[in-house]
Structure 1
Amino acid sequence: MLLTPLASAHEFWLVPHDAVTGVDQQVVFELRIGPTWPGVQSPRLKNLVDWFKAVDAQGMRTVDGRDGALSVGHLHTRAPGATVVAMRTHPTRISLSASEFNQYLEDEGLKNALALRKRYDLMQTQGREQYSRCAKSIVLVDGRSEGFDQVMDLPLEFVAHTDPLKFQSREKFQLQLLLHGEPLADTLVKAQLKSDPVKEVTAVTDAQGRVALPLTDPGLWLFSTVHMEPSGEDGVDWESLWASLTVNISFQDRSPLQ
């Protein structure tokens, strides 16, 4: 099940238990895969993880975890402020039918890839893709958020530019999207709130790779995007990176969700 319909679902995110906690507390990370919340929990599959790291006020360390475990990793918090966690996966290949691949490109706003398929009369050919994932999560410790904007050197990465503990509902939550450390423009970004029903807003990055999103409610938000380029590797037509960020956002002028 995880390798068929969900393999083509671009959202792949980390859910920390708990996203808001204290010093010297264990935080367990769950891995979710799917088109939207709640997705499906996935175990830590063999050879999935390339690297899994965390940065806090005391520096960088590896997030512990083992293949086959239901949780993808865990750590003990060490310092007040933000503990920023990032996971990079190994590449995986997948083939989709022409109709599935074209719909995927439409849904994710991958206009350049779709334009190339049309230009070279490839709309009726299958999509052979190699993808890897760049998942990031922010854990807030002792009611503080210093370091929430830490860059983790993922190939495709969201960097928060609004303090998640100081957000005002009349404002917009600002993020920047980086591709190999440089701003990535004209890219669709989705924001989804963990709620029932799921709430979603979207925006497209500007020339500086920035988006400003009108978030509707406090809670655990998932930000996601996909970047795709033609591939020069044998047996693959496209190379894609799927990025996500989860962070619990508080509203200063409203009560948090219960």
Structure 2
Amino acid sequence: MLLAPLASAHEFWLVPHDGVTAVDKKVVFELRIGPTWPGVQSPRLNNLVDWFIAKDAKGVRKVEGRDGALAVGHLQTRAVGATVVAMRTNSTRINLSAIEFNEYLEEEGLSNVLALRKRYDLMQTPGREQYSRCAKSIVLVGGRSDGFDRVMDMPLEFVAHTDPLKFQAGDEFHLQLFFNGEPLAGNLVKAQLKADPVKEVMAISDEHGRVALPLTDPGLWLFSTVHMEPSGEDGVDWESLWASLTVNISSKDRSPSQ
């Protein structure tokens, strides 16, 4: 019961204990939930995971783990380059009061849903929502980043277009957002740096689902977004997907001429 409020928190992300590592090393993943870093570490709840896989230069495999464990999964690295990990959760239903639901929509930039609620005079009705999550993390192995832009076939997914090992602090980090394999426009994307205090920047995805976020510092970054549509299921008004991506971003030194 104590975990119920955390389970409905917006951000939900994977944190690898060694996001930059070598071949043949064990990487343990923890799950964090909350509105911002550092969040609260959550165990792997029963029936949470639909599937949990990793993709590297050698192919696709399952990320091992068990329900009830504090570590949600683990793997042994086996190839130089990027190992991209993706967790798809099962759906959960939640009922929020009208005030809570409207505040949530405003925080996540879901203006399309707010507009529908206003149009059909639903602003004073509770929000009956069914949601699931698409969490992704990039592990960099052997000092290489080949394959950092791998697609993991999640219904809502970030794909990085900037090499995390070649980024220069102060430049823009480029991502693309996909919904069911198609670029998703008009979504609010948040980027948060694991730091004290937390640093956050935001952008809206363009017509091609792209965002360019100016990141001032290297470190472990969390990218997140929410997409919501009306639901046709009984007892539910809205269906939402929450996507996240974590990656350790390095910063290359600029040459004196830059």
Shared topology, TM-score over 0.5? yes
Q: Is the 2:220–2:246 Cα contact (8 Å) retained in structure 1? A: yes
Q: Give runs of aligned pairs for residues 54-133 of structure 1, distance below 5 A.
A: 54-133=54-133
* Letter matched to residue 216 of structure 1: T
Partner of 2:245: 245
Residue 2 (structure 1) aligned with residue 3 (structure 2):
yes
* Letter matched to residue 3 of structure 2: L
Q: Give runs of aligned pairs for residues 1-258 of structure 1, distance below 5 A.
A: 1-4=2-5, 6-253=6-253
Rounded Cα–Cα distance in structure 2 between residues aligned with 1:203 and 1:157: 16
Rounded Cα–Cα distance in structure 2 between residues aligned with 1:170 and 1:73: 33
The alignment partner of 1:65 has SS state of coil
Q: CA deviation at 1:234?
A: 0.3
* Letter matched to residue 9 of structure 1: A
Q: CA deviation at 1:7?
A: 3.1
Rounded Cα–Cα distance in structure 2 between residues aligned with 1:130 and 1:40: 22
Q: CA deviation at 1:106?
A: 0.2
Q: CA deviation at 1:143?
A: 0.6
Rounded Cα–Cα distance in structure 2 between residues aligned with 1:126 and 1:8: 15
Rounded Cα–Cα distance in structure 2 between residues aligned with 1:220 and 1:109: 24
Q: 1:212-249 deviations in whole A, cap 9, x for unaligned?
A: 00001000000000000000000000000000000000
Moved over 3 A (4+): none
Q: CA deviation at 1:8?
A: 3.1
Rounded Cα–Cα distance in structure 1 between residues aligned with 2:84 and 2:58: 12
Task: Name the Cα RMSD after superposition.
Answer: 0.8
Q: CA deviation at 1:170?
A: 3.8
Q: CA deviation at 1:168?
A: 1.4
Rounded Cα–Cα distance in structure 2 between residues aligned with 1:10 and 1:50: 19
Rounded Cα–Cα distance in structure 1 between residues aligned with 2:179 and 2:106: 21
Q: CA deviation at 1:169?
A: 2.1
Q: TM-score, normalised to structure 1's length? A: 0.97
The alignment partner of 2:163 has SS state of coil
* Letter matched to residue 168 of structure 2: Q
Gaps of 5+ in 2: none
* Letter matched to residue 233 of structure 2: E
Rounded Cα–Cα distance in structure 2 between residues aligned with 1:90 and 1:50: 5
Q: Is the 2:170–2:217 Cα contact (8 Å) retained in structure 1? A: no
Rounded Cα–Cα distance in structure 1 between residues aligned with 2:169 and 2:37: 22
Gaps of 5+ in 1: none
Q: 1:131-173 deviations in whole A, cap 9, x for unaligned?
A: 0000000000011000000000000000000000000124200
Identity, in percent, stands at 81
Rounded Cα–Cα distance in structure 2 between residues aligned with 1:152 and 1:214: 25
Q: 1:16-62 deviations in whole A, cap 9, x for unaligned?
A: 01000000000000000000000000000000000000000100000
Q: 1:180-231 deviations in whole A, cap 9, x for unaligned?
A: 1100000000000000100000000000000000001000000000000000
Q: CA deviation at 1:10?
A: 1.1
Q: 1:99-153 deviations in whole A, cap 9, x for unaligned?
A: 0000000000001100000001100110000000000000000110000000000
